[in-house]
């Protein structure tokens, strides 16, 4: 008995000590400034969650230290250093020294049943109140309405300025969800392939994007800023690279951004900038089968009429999908879509927000003022265009994500990037 008892005592005290150390480490590591921290919310929904977590964590902490403290105190109080008549081993009793045993203690047992019950009951009331508040996702008239579509491994945002998600959106963008400060944004979350989960911790909790379903969610930011997010439902090889950013802009700037998004791209064939016309030439052959650029690649404009009326733009590019002969690559796109590049340069990140589009852009907002955006992260963009699966693992059979374009010469790629640089 002595060896086992001693082992158990040491094991349990070690567990307690490690538990306490782990707790301290967690407390130190939990960094409120971390981009994915839920502990420094900036919106109403995020705050509802934090205001639930914080008191519960304190209660749980007090319970933890009371229980563990009692374990340690009892261990210390009833420890046996060794027995003179025994073999002197720690924790060893002779039969005649064996302490008196007690069985049952009604008062104690009632207390430790009632106290946790009351604690949990109180916690559950606050939890339910918070859950119901978060689940109140009915869009009101003043909300900005955005359909969010997850797919391997990036996010698409379709803006419905009239609030009607059943009609075609007014414009489409990807990876960076731009929202006005202080306004509720009603999200209609969907998936084109497998289950993903939309999560921008500073703004709200997670909501799954499930194929064939439409999940409502509401986010809101109190102050301008860039708030990072991460897909939180494992969705395949590049799940870890499936990030997103919400950018909250003051209302006036948001309106400016929105108006800019509604503008089609300039006709690249008329550009006098070096490389742009050549870049467009390559793009139209190598990229336009998947990527839509409103005013340039949409079918109504393929004939060369970039001034075609707005309602003939095909901003999903879905009209292209039927024409298998002309757009062979569309077949390899399981999700059936690629990011709309019309205003690529107004994003701070690309490819599921896995890469920065600008160098040293940090967390400032490079949206409206070109001069303020920092330097284009040309190397990363070129590397992406040349061999995307090498930058962001896709699928062994190239059935997902963006295909490699390793046939392009450095000059081709240079020109394509010159062309892409005009998309702002």
| Residues in contact with ligand HEC by the rule CB under 6 A | 153-154, 174-175, 283, 286-287, 289-291, 329, 332-333, 338-339, 344, 347, 350-352, 385, 392, 401-403, 405, 416
Q: What sign has the CA pseudo-torsion 20, 24, 27, 29?
A: negative
Q: How far is the CB of 370 from ligand HEC (least distance, A)?
A: 17
Q: How far is the CB of 62 from ligand HEC (least distance, A)?
A: 46
Residue 372 near residue 360 (C-beta atoms within 8 A): no
d(CA 71, CA 303): 80
Our CA angle for 372, 375, 378, nearest 5°, is 145
How far, in whole angstroms, is CA 149 from its chain's centroid? 13
Strands (E), 126-249: 144-151, 154-160, 171-174, 176-180, 185-191, 196-198, 207-209, 215-219, 225-230, 243-249
Interacting partner of 401 out of Cu ion, ligand HEC, none (Cβ under 5 to 8 A depending on kind): ligand HEC
Q: Which residues contact 89 (CB under 8 A, 6 or more apart)?
A: 2, 3, 6, 82, 83
Q: How far is the CB of 260 from Cu ion (least distance, A)?
A: 28
Interacting partner of 257 out of ligand HEC, Cu ion, none (Cβ under 5 to 8 A depending on kind): none
Name the percent of the chain in helix, strand, coil, to the closest 5: 40, 15, 45
Q: How far is the CB of 287 from ligand HEC (least distance, A)?
A: 3
Which residues bind to Cu ion, rule: CB under 5 A?
Answer: 196, 231, 235, 242
Question: Would you say 196 or 228 has its CB closer to Cu ion?
Answer: 196
Interacting partner of 154 out of ligand HEC, Cu ion, none (Cβ under 5 to 8 A depending on kind): ligand HEC
Question: Residue for token digits 């005013």?
Answer: 295
Q: How far is the CB of 205 from ligand HEC (least distance, A)?
A: 24
Question: Would you say 137 or 237 has its CB closer to ligand HEC?
Answer: 237
Interacting partner of 235 out of Cu ion, ligand HEC, none (Cβ under 5 to 8 A depending on kind): Cu ion
DSSP assignments along 269-301, one per residue: GG--STTHHHHHHHHHHHTTTT---TTTTSHHH
In the DSSP assignment, the letter for residue 133 is: H
Question: Would you say 49 or 381 has its CB closer to ligand HEC?
Answer: 381
Interacting partner of 187 out of Cu ion, ligand HEC, none (Cβ under 5 to 8 A depending on kind): none
Question: Would you say 351 or 423 has its CB closer to Cu ion?
Answer: 351
Question: Would you say 242 or 413 has its CB closer to Cu ion?
Answer: 242
d(CA 46, CA 117): 28
Interacting partner of 321 out of ligand HEC, Cu ion, none (Cβ under 5 to 8 A depending on kind): none
d(CA 307, CA 156): 26
Q: How far is the CB of 58 from ligand HEC (least distance, A)?
A: 41
CA distances from 201 to 44, 98, 150, 185 (A): 12, 56, 17, 15
Question: Would you say 155 or 159 has its CB closer to Cu ion?
Answer: 155
Question: Would you say 173 or 282 has its CB closer to Cu ion?
Answer: 173
Interacting partner of 332 out of ligand HEC, Cu ion, none (Cβ under 5 to 8 A depending on kind): ligand HEC
Q: How far is the CB of 230 from Cu ion (least distance, A)?
A: 9
Query: Which H or E run contains 350?
Result: strand 349-350
Question: Would you say 44 or 243 has its CB closer to ligand HEC?
Answer: 243
Residue 54 token pair? 């914080």
Interacting partner of 338 out of ligand HEC, Cu ion, none (Cβ under 5 to 8 A depending on kind): ligand HEC
Supply the angle between the helices 2-29 and 44-77 in degrees, to the nearest 10.
Answer: 150
Question: Would you say 280 or 313 has its CB closer to ligand HEC?
Answer: 280
Q: How far is the CB of 211 from Cu ion (least distance, A)?
A: 12
d(CA 267, CA 302): 11
Interacting partner of 352 out of ligand HEC, Cu ion, none (Cβ under 5 to 8 A depending on kind): ligand HEC
Question: Would you say 221 or 385 has its CB closer to ligand HEC?
Answer: 385
Q: How far is the CB of 232 from Cu ion (least distance, A)?
A: 8
Q: How far is the CB of 408 from ligand HEC (least distance, A)?
A: 6
């Amino acid at each position: 008995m002595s060896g086992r008892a001693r082992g158990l005592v040491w094991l349990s005290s070690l567990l307690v000590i490690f538990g306490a150390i782990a707790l301290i480490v967690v407390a130190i590591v939990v960094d409120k400034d971390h981009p994915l921290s839920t502990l420094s919310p900036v919106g109403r929904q995020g705050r509802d969650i934090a205001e639930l977590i914080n008191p519960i964590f304190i209660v749980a902490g007090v319970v933890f230290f009371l229980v563990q403290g009692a374990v340690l105190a009892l261990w210390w109080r009833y420890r046996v250093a060794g027995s003179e008549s025994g073999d002197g081993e720690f924790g060893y009793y002779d039969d005649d020294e064996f302490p008196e045993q007690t069985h049952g203690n009604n008062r104690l047992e009632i207390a430790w049943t009632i106290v946790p019950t009351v604690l949990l009951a109180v916690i559950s009331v606050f939890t339910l109140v918070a859950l119901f508040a978060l689940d109140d996702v009915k869009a009101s008239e003043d909300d900005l309405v955005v359909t969010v579509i997850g797919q391997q491994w990036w996010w698409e945002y379709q803006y419905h300025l009239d609030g009607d998600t059943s009609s075609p959106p007014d414009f489409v963008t990807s990876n960076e969800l731009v929202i006005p400060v202080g306004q509720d944004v009603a999200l209609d979350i969907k998936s084109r392939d497998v289950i993903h989960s939309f999560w921008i911790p500073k703004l709200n909790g997670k909501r799954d994007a499930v194929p064939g379903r439409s999940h409502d969610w509401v986010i809101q930011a109190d102050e301008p800023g860039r708030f990072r997010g991460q897909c939180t439902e494992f969705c395949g090889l590049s799940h870890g690279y499936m990030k997103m950013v919400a950018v909250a802009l003051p209302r006036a700037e948001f309106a400016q951004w929105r108006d800019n998004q509604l503008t089609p791209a300039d006709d690249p064939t008329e550009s006098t900038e070096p490389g742009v016309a050549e870049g467009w030439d390559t793009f139209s052959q190598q990229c336009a089968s998947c990527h839509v650029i409103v005013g340039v690649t949409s079918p109504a404009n393929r004939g060369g009429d970039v001034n075609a009326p707005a309602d003939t733009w095909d901003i999903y590019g879905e009209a292209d999908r039927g024409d298998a002969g002309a757009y062979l690559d569309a077949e390899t796109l399981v999700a059936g879509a690629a990011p709309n590049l019309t205003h690529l340069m107004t994003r701070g990140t690309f490819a599921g927000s896995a890469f920065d589009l600008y160098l040293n852009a940090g967390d400032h907002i490079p949206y409206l003022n070109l001069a303020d955006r920092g330097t284009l992260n040309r190397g990363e963009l070129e590397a992406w265009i040349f061999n995307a699966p090498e930058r962001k693992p896709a699928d062994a059979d190239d059935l997902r994500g963006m295909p490699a374009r390793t046939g392009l010469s450095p000059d081709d790629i240079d020109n394509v990037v010159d062309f892409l640089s005009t998309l702002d």
